[in-house]
Each structure stands twice: as C-alpha cells, then as structure tokens.
C-alpha cells in the first residue's frame, strides 16, 4: 500500500483527559476513508492534529511519506463540523479571499469559482452577504472554499450537516467526482448510510483508541452472523440438519425463514437440504450493516 497519510502511535492529552492513545491509521491513496466513533471518542482531536491546528504529544503523522509539515497544509482541504465563515462579507469576495489564502491568484480563483457557484446554484448570490443565505446555502459556500484549491487530501467532518436530501446528493456526487480525479478523502460522520454509500475503508475510534480498521468488505466478513434468510414456497418440515431461528408467512404462497449455519456447515449444504423439501425463491446471507457493526464493536470495548 502507498498511503497518502500514515498516523503512527499518536497520543494526545488535555490535562487529566486522554483524547487519543497510541492511535495508528493508514489512509490509502485515492480512497474514501471513514473515520468513525461515538461523540467524545477522539475523532476531532485527531483531525486537529492532521490539520496542524494542534500538535500530538507523541507519535508522528506522515503525509506522502514525509513528516507532516506546515507547507503540506496547502495540499489539504478541511471542512470542519463547526463552520467558520465571515457573515458580514459578500459571498464572492469571501470565496476569492479564502482561495487566495490557499495559494490561488485572484484571477485564477475567479475563474475556478465561476464553475463551482453555477454548479451549486449560488451564482445569483455572489454579491450578497453570507448572513442573507440559508444555512444550506452557507454550507455550499463552505464546501466550495474547502475544495477550490484542488487538495490532494480532503478532510470532511460531518459534511452533510444542514443539507436537505437533494443538496446532500449534490455533495455526495462531488465527493465521488473528486475521489475519481485522484483526491483522497477522510470522511468523519455519524451517518452510517453515508459510510455504506461512500467509504471503502474505515477506522473506528472509541474511548481514545482505535478498535477497528480495514476495508468495509473485510470488516463485514469479520462480523458475519452466519444467518441466512430464505423465502420459499411449500411446506417445510423441521429437520435436525438445520437451525431454524424464525419462520413465518410472507404473502400469497410464500414463507420466510431464517437459519443459522451449524459449525462446519456451508451455505451450499444448507441450500441443498432445503431444496429437497421446498421451492426456493430467495436465499441470502444476512450481512450486518455498518451501523450494526459500529454498535457491536463499541459494546465489546
């Protein structure tokens, strides 16, 4: 793996409180990486270290294989959960000003912003003060300001906060587009449906420690329940060859049942036993979603 970001044994303390304890992460280049955890787990403390707002007490962070330095921040875009814009400033001037802070010339900023404000439907608000915009429109301005300099690494902390479903989909499409253009994304959220939709890798932090990390597919396999849901037609007799944990009518002639595999039993063995009695309409494993995995992992630590 050639990670864009590597966190090595990072710890952070505030007086008597331990915010992070020996946390290590690998963020693959060109991926969308979910940073998950309950409130107070340490996610925000880690993000502040990654953006050099604060420093770690111990450990190190590598960006593109080099110790994280101040000049690397120009290659990082950060959208904080607590948005920070100048409410009395006009939208256009504010975006140009923030783009210049990230190294763009005024002319380059204006050219790049033209496409963004048209795409996000805020071109007509260019000369209006930010305080005149709705919360959702302000969020769009903040997102544009975060990505206008085309960062290599994009850190998004609850990016969908304040958006209705239509605009949340707009932001989702932009995140995917940026990723497809080579941008790496760290995505911190409590919305597990967004994690399912966007993320390829995740890390779960709980009580200042990393307790889970990896590809979503691999983590699902790790937490698999070996329970299969079967929709069938016919009459199913009880059989010692399987463990039926639920059975009920579905509709018309169909029935639904859930089976837990015996130790050493394969799905194919269960299926072959069932088709001797009934006609199978659907047969699928009940793979846990990220919300269930999140709850189970936290409850076990």
| pLDDT per residue rounded down to tens, the chain (301 residues) | 689 999 999 999 998 899 999 999 999 999 999 999 988 889 999 999 999 999 999 999 999 999 999 889 889 999 988 767 888 899 999 999 999 988 899 999 999 999 999 999 888 889 999 889 888 888 899 999 999 999 999 999 988 887 888 888 999 999 999 999 999 999 998 888 889 889 999 999 999 999 999 999 999 989 988 999 999 999 988 888 889 999 999 887 899 999 999 999 999 999 999 999 999 999 999 989 899 999 989 888 7
Residue 298 belongs to a domain? no
CA distance 92 to 133: 13
pLDDT at residue 149, as a whole number: 92
pLDDT at residue 147, as a whole number: 94
Number of domains in the chain: 2
Nearest to 199 by CA among 31, 9, 23: 31
214 and 230: one domain? no
CA distance 212 to 141: 34
48 and 179: one domain? yes
144 and 236: one domain? no
β-strands 153-157, 76-79 pairing: parallel
236 and 193: one domain? no
141 and 275: one domain? no
> Residue 157 forms beta bridges with which residues?
188
Residue 297 belongs to a domain? no
Domain termination site, one of 198, 221, 244: 221
CA distance 219 to 217: 5
CA distance 135 to 255: 48
Output the domain CATH number for residue 197.
3.40.50.300
Residue 290 belongs to a domain? no
165 and 131: one domain? yes
pLDDT at residue 163, as a whole number: 82
Residue 73 belongs to a domain? yes
Q: Which residues constitute the domain of residue 144?
A: 3-221
150 and 234: one domain? no
Nearest to 141 by CA among 166, 168, 123: 123
Show the tokens assigned to 85. Answer: 């814009």
Show the tokens assigned to 146. Answer: 């975060």
Residue 68 belongs to a domain? yes
Q: Does residue 159 contact residue 187 with C-beta atoms inside 8 Å?
A: yes
Residue 292 belongs to a domain? no
Show the tokens assigned to 49. Answer: 């270290």
**How many C-beta neighbours within 10 Å does residue 119 have?**
14
273 and 199: one domain? no
pLDDT at residue 22, as a whole number: 96
CA distance 177 to 97: 25
CA distance 99 to 110: 9
166 and 78: one domain? yes
């Amino acid at each position: 793996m050639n990670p864009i970001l590597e966190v090595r044994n990072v710890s952070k303390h505030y007086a008597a409180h331990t915010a992070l304890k020996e946390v290590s992460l690998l963020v693959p280049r060109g991926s969308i990486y979910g940073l998950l955890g309950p409130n107070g787990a340490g996610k925000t403390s880690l993000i502040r270290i990654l953006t050099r707002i604060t420093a770690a007490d111990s450990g190190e962070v590598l960006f593109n294989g080099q110790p994280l330095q101040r000049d690397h921040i120009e290659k990082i875009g950060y959208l904080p959960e607590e948005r920070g814009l100048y409410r009395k400033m006009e939208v256009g001037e504010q975006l140009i000003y923030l783009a210049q802070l990230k190294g763009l010339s005024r002319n380059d900023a204006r050219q790049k912003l033209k496409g963004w404000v048209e795409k996000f439907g805020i071109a007509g608000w260019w000369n209006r003060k930010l305080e005149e915009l709705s919360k959702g429109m302000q969020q769009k301005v903040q997102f544009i300001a975060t990505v206008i300099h085309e960062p290599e690494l994009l850190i998004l902390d609850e990016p969908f906060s304040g958006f209705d479903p239509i605009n949340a989909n707009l932001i989702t499409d932009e995140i995917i587009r940026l990723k497809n253009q080579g941008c790496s994304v760290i995505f911190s959220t409590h919305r597990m449906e967004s994690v399912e939709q966007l993320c390829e890798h995740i890390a779960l932090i709980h009580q200042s420690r990393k307790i889970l990390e990896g590809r979503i597919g691999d983590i699902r396999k790790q937490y698999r329940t070996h329970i299969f849901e079967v929709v069938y037609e016919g009459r199913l007799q009880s059989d010692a060859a399987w463990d039926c944990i639920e059975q009920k009518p579905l509709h018309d002639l169909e029935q639904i049942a859930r089976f837990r595999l015996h130790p050493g039993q394969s799905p194919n063995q269960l299926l072959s036993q069932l088709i001797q009695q009934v006609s199978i309409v659907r047969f699928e494993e009940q793979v846990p979603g990220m919300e269930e995995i999140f709850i189970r992992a936290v409850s076990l630590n």
